[in-house]
Amino acid sequence: MKELCISEECIKSTGFSYTLSLINGKYKMTILYTLAVFQVVRFNEMKRYIEDISYKTLSSALKELEADQLVHREEYPQIPPKVEYSLTERGKSLMPILNAMCDWGEQNRLST
């Protein structure tokens, strides 16, 4: 097996970089976690659950996750409008990574 030489490589061409480009952002992983736990969530429910996220930031992050095909947005034609969010199959495929992070956090967080 050929040894890698850093001067001949670029992180942008790695799977790590691609994955990070999809989940990078202060709240994207939190949104994915929320949808993994609760499956189908309405916008205001998510806003209340995450608490410190602004409406604008939540809306923007959801739009980005939807554009990256990690989150599905279902809009119902009724009054008042009803919109629900859930993980796509692609989004669900990130769950082993998220679960590993949760496990690591449970094992390594300090007791309070």
- 37 contacts 49 by C-beta, under 8 angstroms: no
The 10s digit of each residue's pLDDT in 26-84 is 899 999 999 999 999 999 999 999 999 999 999 999 999 999 999 999 999 888 889 99
| HSE toward the beta carbon, residue 20, CA cutoff 13 A | 7
Residue 75, beta-bridge partner list: 83
Q: What is the mean pLDDT of residues 91-95?
A: 94
For residue 48, what is the enclosing H or E element? helix 43-50
Confidence of residue 1 (pLDDT cuts 50, 70, 90): low
| HSE toward the beta carbon, residue 25, CA cutoff 13 A | 20
